[in-house]
Structure 1
Amino acid sequence: MEAVLKRFDEIRTQLPNAPDLQRQLKQLEGLVADSKELFEELVEQLCSGEAPKLISDGVKRRWASYVEETIRIQSPALRNSGRQYLDGNVNDFRARDAVHIRSTGPRIRRLCAERAHAMRLAHPEQVELIETQHRRRRNRLSARKLFAKAPELLKSLKPCWAMSPLVVSELLPPDKAFFDVVIFDEASQIVPFEAVTSILRGKQTIVAGDSKQLSPTSTSFFATKDDEDEITTSDDLEDDTFDAIDETESLLEAVKAVLPGQGVRTLSWHYRSEDERLIAFSNQHPELYGRRLVTAPSISVEPPFKYHLVEGALSDVTGKSPRGEIELTVHVAIAHLKQRPDLSLAVIALGSDHARNIQNEFDRQAGDDSSIALCPPGRPDEKFIIRHLESIQGDERDVVILSTGYGPREIGKLRFDFGPINSDKNLSGLRRLNVAVTRARKRVEVVSTINPYQYDDNRLNSVGVKGLIQYLRFVHSGGEDLGDLSVETVPMNPFEQDIYDSLREQGIEMVPQYGVSGYRLDFAVQHPDSPGRFILAIEADGASYHSSETARDRDRIRQAHLERLGWKFHRIWSTEWFCNKESELYLAKQAVEEAINAYKEEPELPQPEPEPELEKLVSFAPEKQGQEPSMPQLASIDDYGTEIADYIIWFCSDGILHSDDEIFEAVFTRLPFTRRGIRIANRIKDEINNLRSIGRIA
C-alpha cells in the first residue's frame, strides 16, 4: 500500500500520466476491497496533498489497533489487562511475596525443630550421652570426640555451624562428609589448601566471594585479629616495598577455573550504596565490575563526596603520612562524630604507618571527651574504626573518610609511588583500591595532599595508580568526572519519548533515563521549587521492565529498593497509555502533585529504634485446642480405654514438639497412681508410639 501511495503521489500532478494514475487507483482499490470507506478516505487524503508516508503510517496504526482489539476480545486474559487488573496483580504479588519471605524464618525454625525432635526419638543413646556430658563438671569429652559419638543429634540441634577452616580441622572428625552443604564466604581470602579439610566434611560445596577484592595474603581477612581496638599492620612496615608475590591463588579463583560456565553465578544487585555514585567508579571500571552491577539512583543530585585538599608548610605536606594530612583527617573525623552521631564512621588509610599515626593523633585529641560517641545510638556493632586498606574488607559504615597518606617528596614534584596500590600483578593494587572505595553507604570524604588534576595520564603506567588518580578526580569533581570511564548516554525509545513529550507539555520537569548504571529510572521528576531534589520515579513497562529475568526483580525488588532510598513510585502501563492516554496523563499528574505535597525540604533524620521492652520479649506458648479431657480415677492401668490416648492428643494439640518424657510426665500426673510400675510405663509409652505411628501427634 505504501508503494502504491508513493507512486500515486509521483504521477498525480502529471496529466500525461493519467492512465498510470488510473491503474494505481485500481490497485489501491483492490488492496482495500473490503472497505469502501477506507478507499474513499485515502483518495480524499491524497487529493488534499497529504504526504503518502503519513497516510500509510495512519493506516498501519489503525490496522494494528484493530488487530490488537480483536485479539483482546478473543482472549479473556488480555481483555481484562487494564490498569486496575495489572496494578492489582502486581500489588497482590508483592504482598504475597513479602508474606512468603517473612514466614520463611518461622518455617525453617519449625522444620529444624521437627528434625531435632525426630533425631532425639531415633537416637536416645546420643541424648543420654549429651545429657551426661552436660552434668559433668570435669573429664568431659573433647568437642571432636563428642561430635564423633553423637553427630546426628548435634547436627539436628545446631543445623548451621559457622567456623573458620582451621577450626573445622580441629573440631570435626575427618572420616566422613558430616554436612549436606559447606558454604565458603569471602572465598577470595582463602587459599585452596586450607579449604580442602572443610570441603571433605560436606556433600556439596558453595563458594561465594568477590574476585575483584583482596586475594589471600599475610594480612588478609582470615589472617588478621578481630579486634576493634587494634590496627592490623603488614609484616613489612615499608608499604612502598610491598610486593604482590606474597599473594596466592584464592579458593574462589581455583573453583571458577574448574567449574563449567553453568556452575558460576554472578550476583548483580548492589544494595550497600544508598547513592549509586558511591559505586560508580568500580562499576564502570572494565577491570572491576564492567557495568554489570544493578544499582539505584539517589533522590538528590547533591554529590555524596567531599574532597579536602591538604595545603601548608613543606614539613606538613611532604613525605609518607604527612603531618598536615593526619591532623586534618582527625579534625574531620571528630567533627563528624560530634555533629552526626547518628551516622557510623570509618577512616581508611592507604598505608599501615599512616593508619597508626591517625589512630595515635585521634587518641591524643579525643582523649576521654564524653561528647564524642564512637558508635550510633542502638548500633554498637558499628563502632568508629581506623583501618588501612589491607584490613578493611568485610567492614562497612555510613560515612568513610579516605586518607591517602602519600605526600610529594618535595614541593612541586609529583609522587607516583603509592605502596600496594602500585602493584599490578593480578591487578592487586586496583583490587585493594576497590575494597577501600566501596565501604560507604552514604558518603565518602577524601583527605589528601594530592591534587589529581596535576597528573598527566600519559605518565600513569600502573593500572592501580591510574585508578587511584581517576577515583580522586571523580571525588574532587563531586561525582562528575569519570574520565574514560564515563557513563554512556541511553536514548529513549519511541514509547518513552511520547511519555516524556506529553508530560513536559503538562509542565512536569523531569530527567529521562536517570542513573549511572545498567538499570536507570525511565523518568525522575524534579521538585518545581527545588530542581536538585527528585520527588517521584515514573517507570513504564518498556524494554527495561520486560528485560528483568523474574517477576520478583521487576515488580518487587526494584521498587522496594527505590522506596528504601526515599523514592515515590508511579507506573505507566503501555496498554493503558495507547488506549487511554488522557486518563494516564491525569493519573501521572496527580501522582506528581501528591509527591510535591508530601515533600519535605529537610527530611527528618531516622530515629534509632527503641530498645525492646522486657514484656515484649516474653513469648507465650500456643494454646491447646479444646477442653482438657477428664481423666477418670480408676483402680488399674488396664481399666483405661481411650482416655489416655485422648489426653495425649489434647496435650500435643498446641503444636509444640513434645518429647516422650514430657508427654509421659503430663499423663502420669493425671493418673491416680503414686508408683511408676513397668505396666504403667509400658502402657503410656505404647499409646505415645501408636499415636506417633499413625500421625496423630508430631
Structure 2
Amino acid sequence: FLRQLADARGQLKDWCHWRLTRSEAEAGGLGELVNAVETGQVEPGDLRAAVDRSLVEAWLEETIDADDLLRRFQSHDHERKIRAFREVDEGLIRLAREVIVARAKSRVPAAGNQAPDSSELGILNRELQKKRRHMPLRKLFQSLPGLLPRLKPCLLMSPLSVAQYLSPDMERVDLVIFDEASQMPVWDSIGAIARGNAVIVVGDSKQLPPTSFFEKAITEDDDIQDGDIGVDEVESILDECEAANLPTMRLLWHYRSQHESLIAFSNAHYYDNRLMTFPSVVSTADGLGVSLRHLEDGLYDRGASRTNQREAEFIVAEIVRRIHAAGDPASGPSLGVVAFSQAQQRRIEDLLDEARRQHPEIEDWFGEAAAEQVFVKNLENVQGDERDVILFSICYGPDAAGKITMAFGPLNRDGGERRLNVAITRARREVVVVSSLRGDQIDLARVRALGVRHLKSFLDYADRGPRALVEASAPVLGAAFDSPFEKAVRDALVARGHDV
C-alpha cells in the first residue's frame, strides 16, 4: 500500500481537489450525481450536461408539485381537447361559408323568371341569349346597378379591370380591399378607392415594392455591383397610407410556419422580433426547419449563361427524390423552388422538363392531380406563393478560377433585403438552401447593400441554426447606452447594414 501511495504521490493534489469538490457537491444535494460519476454511470465529459439535466428535472418536479393544474395534467387528455377544438373550429369555418353562400343565393332571382325586356333582369337575359354582338361589359354593368350586387356581392378584380369594367358613374361599393398593397402603385389604386365608401389596405412594407418596367429590365443583370444603379423604388399605396397616418392594425401572429426556425431569421432582421410565433417542440427534426446543402464543386458561370449548373442539377435531383418518396401528389408535401436569378430559374426549368420526360411517373405533381403543383420562380415573382417545402438556389459563388465577386443581382440593389425576406418566408415546413458558397465567403468590406449583408447572415443561419441569431444579437442585447442619442446612432447604423 505504501509503495502504491508513493507511486501515486503525483496525483495527490488532484485527489485532494476531488475530495473537496465531492464534499461541496454532496452538501449541495448532488450526492447521487457524485456516486454516478464514481461508479462510471456518467462519464466525466458528460458531467456538465448531467448537472444541467439534474437541475432542470429538480426544478420541473418542484414546479409541477406547486401547481395543482400542472399536477393534474394528462397529456392524452390535453391532446384529445386539442383535436376536439380543431374539429369544432374547422366546422365553424365550414358553417360560416355555407351561411354566406346561402345568403347570397337567396338574393339571386329564380331561374326562368319572366321579366320585362327593359328591366335589369330582362337586359341580362337578353344578353345571355345572344350569339354575337354582345353589349360591352362596362355598359352591361352600368345597366345592372341593382342586379349586379345581388348576383356578385364580391368582385375580385385587378385595378386595371376596375378601371376597364366599372364606370365611375356606378353606385359605389361598400368596401374596397387591397391585398399585397406593397406592390400596388398609387396611381393604379386611386381609381379603385374612388369607387368605394371605405377601403382596407393590406400589405407588408418589408416585402416587395412596386416594380417599374425599367427595374424589371435591369433585374436580368446579375453582375450589378453596389452603387451601379440608383433606381428609386416606386411608392406604393401602402407607403402612402402609412405616411398619411391612417388608422393601422398590425397583424403580429404568425401561423404559416410549422417550425419556428422558418420565420425566426425574418422576425429578427425585419420585424424587430415583434411577430408572435409558436415555439417548436424540437429544435431540429427531419423535414422541418432550415438547412444548408453546401456544394463544394458548384461553380457560377459568370459568362454568357450566368447560371450554376451544379446547383440546378442538385435541385432537380432533389425534387425527383422527394416526389418518389412522397408518392401521392394529392397528400404529399408540396414543393417549390426559388432561384436568386432569372437565368438560374430558366436553367432549373430546362433540367426539370428533361427529368419529367425521363420520369413520367412524376408528371401528376405538375398537373391538377396535385394539391399544389411544383413551381420554379425567382426573387421577383414568388411573393404570394407558399409551399410545404422550398428549395433555394443561391446560384452565385466561385467561378472556374475560384474568384468570388460581390455581385448578387437583385440583392445588390436598394430594397434587395425585401426580396430576400419574401423568398425565405415561403415555406410551411422546410427550407433547403442549396449554395456553392458559405456566409464567411461574403466580404462585407467590399459591399454596402443591406440585401447582401443579410444574405451572408442567412447563409450562416442556415448552416448553424438559431445559435447564429443568438450570437449576432448578443452584443446588442448586452449593450448599455449612456444616452438616447447613442442608441439612435446605433439603430441607424444597424439599419444601414453595419455591424455595431
TM score, norm. by length of structure 2: 0.68
Supply the distance in 1 between the matched residues of 2:151 and 2:105 (Cα, whole angstroms).
8
Amino acid at match of 2:376: I
Instruction: Output aligned runs, 1:278-677, within 5 Å.
Output: 278-285=262-269, 288-303=270-285, 304-312=289-297, 316-317=299-300, 319=302, 320-341=306-327, 342-373=332-363, 375=365, 380=370, 382-409=372-399, 411=401, 413-423=403-413, 425=414, 428-455=415-442, 461-482=448-469, 483-485=471-473
Q: Alignment partner of 2:460: what SS?
A: helix
The answer to whether the 8 Å contact 1:151/1:178 transfers is no
TM-aligned CA deviation for residue 251 of structure 1: 1.1
CA gap 1:190/1:160 in 2 versus in 1, 3 angstroms: same
Supply the distance in 2 between the matched residues of 1:417 and 1:296 (Cα, whole angstroms).
36
The answer to whether the 8 Å contact 2:145/2:170 transfers is no
Could you report, residue by residue, the CA deviation over 1:607-645 in whole angstroms, capped at 9, with x for unpaired residues?
A: xxxxxxxxxxxxxxxxxxxxxxxxxxxxxxxxxxxxxxx
Of 342-351 and 357-366, deviating more is 357-366
Supply the distance in 1 between the matched residues of 2:465 and 2:323 (Cα, whole angstroms).
23
Partner of 2:66: none
CA gap 1:306/1:371 in 2 versus in 1, 3 angstroms: farther
Q: Alignment partner of 1:386: what SS?
A: strand
TM-aligned CA deviation for residue 456 of structure 1: 5.2
Supply the distance in 1 between the matched residues of 2:209 and 2:456 (Cα, whole angstroms).
23
The answer to whether the 8 Å contact 1:325/1:403 transfers is yes
Partner of 1:108: 100
TM-aligned CA deviation for residue 472 of structure 1: 0.7
Supply the distance in 2 between the matched residues of 1:370 and 1:412 (Cα, whole angstroms).
38
Q: Alignment partner of 1:465: what SS?
A: helix
Supply the distance in 2 between the matched residues of 1:439 and 1:122 (Cα, whole angstroms).
51
The answer to whether the 8 Å contact 1:309/1:448 transfers is yes
TM-aligned CA deviation for residue 326 of structure 1: 2.4
Instruction: Output aligned runs, 1:96-245, within 5 Å.
Output: 101-116=93-108, 125-218=119-212, 234=217, 237-241=220-224, 243=229, 245=231
TM-aligned CA deviation for residue 345 of structure 1: 1.0
Supply the distance in 2 between the matched residues of 1:393 and 1:172 (Cα, whole angstroms).
28
CA gap 1:422/1:367 in 2 versus in 1, 3 angstroms: same
CA gap 1:93/1:441 in 2 versus in 1, 3 angstroms: closer
TM-aligned CA deviation for residue 486 of structure 1: 6.3
RMSD: 3.4
Q: Alignment partner of 1:108: what SS?
A: helix
TM-aligned CA deviation for residue 292 of structure 1: 1.5
Q: Alignment partner of 1:375: what SS?
A: helix
Give yes or no for the alignment of 1:275 onto 2:262: no
CA gap 1:317/1:196 in 2 versus in 1, 3 angstroms: closer
Partner of 2:36: none
Partner of 2:12: none
TM-aligned CA deviation for residue 392 of structure 1: 0.8
The answer to whether the 8 Å contact 2:212/2:234 transfers is no
Supply the distance in 2 between the matched residues of 1:396 and 1:439 (Cα, whole angstroms).
5
Supply the distance in 2 between the matched residues of 1:130 and 1:421 (Cα, whole angstroms).
52
TM-aligned CA deviation for residue 307 of structure 1: 1.4
TM-aligned CA deviation for residue 116 of structure 1: 4.0
TM-aligned CA deviation for residue 99 of structure 1: 6.2
Q: Alignment partner of 1:393: what SS?
A: coil
The answer to whether the 8 Å contact 1:270/1:295 transfers is yes
Amino acid at match of 1:168: V
Supply the distance in 2 between the matched residues of 1:121 and 1:153 (Cα, whole angstroms).
15
The answer to whether the 8 Å contact 2:115/2:122 transfers is no
Supply the distance in 2 between the matched residues of 1:145 and 1:97 (Cα, whole angstroms).
43
Could you report, residue by residue, the CA deviation over 1:511-563 in whole angstroms, capped at 9, with x for unpaired residues?
A: xxxxxxxxxxxxxxxxxxxxxxxxxxxxxxxxxxxxxxxxxxxxxxxxxxxxx
Supply the distance in 1 between the matched residues of 2:439 and 2:460 (Cα, whole angstroms).
6
The answer to whether the 8 Å contact 1:176/1:200 transfers is no
Could you report, residue by residue, the CA deviation over 1:241-270 in whole angstroms, capped at 9, with x for unpaired residues?
A: 38461630011111111134xx11111111
Of 143-152 and 409-418, deviating more is 409-418
Supply the distance in 1 between the matched residues of 2:465 and 2:326 (Cα, whole angstroms).
21
Supply the distance in 2 between the matched residues of 1:131 and 1:332 (Cα, whole angstroms).
54
Percentage of identical aligned residues? 36
CA gap 1:462/1:450 in 2 versus in 1, 3 angstroms: same
Q: Alignment partner of 1:240: what SS?
A: coil
Q: Pick 1 or 2: higher relative contact order, CA cutoff 8 A, min separation 6.
A: 2
Supply the distance in 2 between the matched residues of 1:345 and 1:96 (Cα, whole angstroms).
30
Could you report, residue by residue, the CA deviation over 1:89-120 in whole angstroms, capped at 9, with x for unpaired residues?
A: x99999987765443223323333344459x9
Supply the distance in 1 between the matched residues of 2:86 and 2:387 (Cα, whole angstroms).
30
TM-aligned CA deviation for residue 151 of structure 1: 1.6
TM-aligned CA deviation for residue 203 of structure 1: 1.0
TM-aligned CA deviation for residue 142 of structure 1: 1.4
Amino acid at match of 1:340: A
TM-aligned CA deviation for residue 418 of structure 1: 0.7
CA gap 1:447/1:98 in 2 versus in 1, 3 angstroms: closer
Partner of 1:681: none
CA gap 1:270/1:392 in 2 versus in 1, 3 angstroms: same
Unmatched segments (≥5 aa) in structure 1: 1-81, 224-232, 490-698
Amino acid at match of 2:377: R
Supply the distance in 1 between the matched residues of 2:167 and 2:131 (Cα, whole angstroms).
24
Could you report, residue by residue, the CA deviation over 1:156-176 in whole angstroms, capped at 9, with x for unpaired residues?
A: 111001011111111111124
The answer to whether the 8 Å contact 2:222/2:410 transfers is yes
Q: Alignment partner of 2:200: what SS?
A: strand
TM-aligned CA deviation for residue 350 of structure 1: 0.7
The answer to whether the 8 Å contact 1:349/1:404 transfers is yes
Report how many aligned residue pairs link the two structures. Answer: 382
TM-aligned CA deviation for residue 219 of structure 1: 7.0
Amino acid at match of 2:354: R
Supply the distance in 2 between the matched residues of 1:373 and 1:488 (Cα, whole angstroms).
50
The answer to whether the 8 Å contact 1:433/1:464 transfers is yes
The answer to whether the 8 Å contact 1:115/1:156 transfers is yes
Supply the distance in 2 between the matched residues of 1:363 and 1:194 (Cα, whole angstroms).
37
The answer to whether the 8 Å contact 1:344/1:376 transfers is no
The answer to whether the 8 Å contact 2:145/2:171 transfers is no
The answer to whether the 8 Å contact 1:276/1:298 transfers is yes
Of 168-177 and 191-200, deviating more is 168-177
Give yes or no for the alignment of 1:250 onto 2:236: yes
Q: Alignment partner of 1:239: what SS?
A: coil
Q: Which has the larger radius of gyration?
A: 1
The answer to whether the 8 Å contact 1:317/1:325 transfers is no
The answer to whether the 8 Å contact 2:392/2:431 transfers is yes
Supply the distance in 1 between the matched residues of 2:396 and 2:268 (Cα, whole angstroms).
26
CA gap 1:396/1:390 in 2 versus in 1, 3 angstroms: same
